[in-house]
Amino acid sequence: MSGIRVTYTGLISLSGGIAAVMASSIFTVLITRKLLPEEYGAWGVISGVIIYVVFIGTITSFWTTREISRGRYVGKTQMMGTSLLSVVAVIAYLFIAYFLGYLTEVKIEYLLLASFLIPTSLFVGALQAINLGKRPQAISYGNLAFGISQIPNALIFVYLFDMSVTGIILSVIISQIISIIVLLILAKPYLRGAFQYNILKKWFKLSWIPLYPSIATFLDSGLQITIFTIITGSLLGIAYWSASIMVVSMISLSSLMSTAIYPKLLEGNNRSFVQSNLTHLFFVGILLTAIAISLGQSALFILNPIYVDAYYLVIILSIGSFFVVMRNIFKQMLTAIETVDLNEKSTKKDYLKSKLFTVHTAQNIATAIIVISLVIGLIVLTETNTTIINYLEYWAFVVLVVEISLAFYLYVRIKQNFDLKFETFSILKYSLVSAGIFGSLHYVTEIVLNYQSSIFDFVAILLVIISTGIIAYLFINYLIDYRSRELINSIITELKNKSK
């Protein structure tokens, strides 16, 4: 019997994820309140560039999770492979940074210092891949360590020493090292065994499989941020975008409810758990989306009052983020049931026909459409009397339309491979309850919140409003929906077991 408990893992991952995001939010507030918008925009550009190169880590991490889920201990091979890839990634990053220093307003010293983020990011990803195979909830512990440690780091480097973007980079590097230590301790049972050269050789030979979906990563936010900066010449726009992304990032937490789906399906067990887990995912996802939409303006004010103008951008991105969660889960489900890599005699043609390849083709096409539309749209808009916010809203709307289309396509693929029916009535209940509760609370915030009060009073009142909304959402759905009672009762049961 599998040691992975889907609902338990989801609850632990979600709890740890929420705590980590809360800690990271404090870090973000600290830096957005201290830095100029242009400086925060520079950090957004750096973050985007890093995405260009760390995707190379999927060459080993992709296969590591699949191997460990199936009982093969390849942890040491993964760590050695990551060491080699770190060297390649740093060289590639420095090459990009050299040109970016001339094309944007980002200082070259910031870009050079950020090169130290490459190996730390890669080793975090490597250890996450190891833990995901057998102990998915461990990833949340690493994220929590990262999030919490960012706060004192920011206070020291950004506030005490007033080191601006340099302080942010140092804070993140140190926090990633702490996360690595935590993840390494948790991954220790899976690091036994010898380094296997033949396995690493096979991974590199098949590197085109995990790198193929990384095309979308390359074309995603990193390239799009660079394109936006070059065409508009605005770091302020990236600051607005980064702040909005920070607000809607809470929606991605809902995917943690389904953390165990991928490794559980890899183990080859029955698929009966999928339907209830997806309903639980909707239960949490709809809640978090409603919070982001209804209270997004207040969240932007907390980051920095200047970002309040981006509220409509938050609304568009919130809806898009929900569909991003869904398409990512669908992709995981489809690739998890693929068994082509279990056959040592599988040919390149077999891999090309497999879901490990075909599932990601639509993602790559969709992301390419976003990039092309962004370039054309921005060039046209620069010829008109358009504000930076309008540029960003156009960008977000393109992303929304494409993500909805992609999620629908993958859903069709899911229906072809799974005996799955969405529990529409439950999902409708979640949507109506959340709209009623958080629509009302949005109106309440306009009356109760004082934007002239201190930030501490403002946050305290907002937290009370959010807590009230969450409790009402849980209580009403508990009364009217079976799946909600199932999830909440499982939480109560786990808490009782822990207290014994």
DSSP 137-206: THHHHHHHHHHHHHHHHHIIIIIIS--HHHHHHHHHHHHHHHHHHHHHHHHGGGS-S---HHHHHHHHHT
In contact, 119 and 90? CB cutoff 8 Å: yes
Q: Residue 437, exposed/middle/buried by CB under 10 A (0-12, 13-18, 19+)? A: buried
Please give the pLDDT value at position 269.
63
Please give the pLDDT value at position 351.
84
Q: How many residues does the chain have?
A: 500
Residue found by looking up tokens 């993500």 in the block: 403
Q: What is the CA radius of gyration of the chain?
A: 22
Query: Per-residue pLDDT tens for 208-261?
Result: 888 887 777 667 766 787 788 888 877 778 888 888 888 888 888 888 777 778
- Please report, for residues 213, 412, 435, the alpha-carbon distance to residue 266 in angstroms, rounded to integers and kept in the order given: 19, 21, 37
Q: Residue 456, exposed/middle/buried by CB under 10 A (0-12, 13-18, 19+)? A: exposed
The rounded distance, in Å, linking the Cα atoms of 186 and 138 is 7
Residue type for position 454: S
Please give the pLDDT value at position 104.
65
Q: Residue 282, exposed/middle/buried by CB under 10 A (0-12, 13-18, 19+)? A: buried
Give the chain's residues under pLDDT 70.
1-17, 101-105, 217-218, 221-222, 268-270, 453, 491, 493-500
The rounded distance, in Å, linking the Cα atoms of 14 and 254 is 7
Count of other CB atoms within 10 angstroms of residue 307: 26
Name the DSSP letter for residue 383. T
Sign of the dihedral through C-alpha 181, 262, 13, 294? positive
Please give the pLDDT value at position 46.
80
Find the Cα–Cα–Cα–Cα dihedral 384, 385, 386, 387, rounded to 10°. Answer: 150
The rounded distance, in Å, linking the Cα atoms of 292 and 279 is 20
Where does 313-464 show beta strands of DSSP type E?
Answer: none
Give the residue among 325, 345, 244 at the shortest CA–CA distance from 281.
325
In contact, 112 and 100? CB cutoff 8 Å: no
- Token digits of residue 32: 């957005």
Residue 385 phi/psi, 5-degree rounding, is -85, 75
The rounded distance, in Å, linking the Cα atoms of 4 and 7 is 9
Please give the pLDDT value at position 316.
93
In contact, 67 and 133? CB cutoff 8 Å: yes
Q: Residue 211, exposed/middle/buried by CB under 10 A (0-12, 13-18, 19+)? A: middle
Query: Per-residue pLDDT tens for 138-167?
Result: 788 888 888 888 888 888 887 888 778 888
- Token digits of residue 135: 């102990």
Please give the pLDDT value at position 180.
93
What's this model's pTM, rounded to 2 decimal places? Answer: 0.76
C-alpha 27: how far from chain center? 17
| DSSP codes of every residue in 398-455 | HHHHHHHHHHHHHHHHHHHHS-----HHHHHHHHHHHHHHHHHHHHHHHHH--TTS-H
Q: Residue 270, exposed/middle/buried by CB under 10 A (0-12, 13-18, 19+)? A: exposed
Name the DSSP letter for residue 267. T
C-alpha 333: how far from chain center? 17
- 3-state DSSP call for residue 192? coil
The rounded distance, in Å, linking the Cα atoms of 181 and 146 is 10
Please give the pLDDT value at position 2.
47
The rounded distance, in Å, linking the Cα atoms of 403 and 395 is 12
The rounded distance, in Å, linking the Cα atoms of 161 and 159 is 6
Q: Which residues contact 400 (CB under 8 A, 6 or more apart)?
A: 316, 317, 319, 320, 323
Please give the pLDDT value at position 95.
84
Count of other CB atoms within 10 angstroms of residue 6: 22
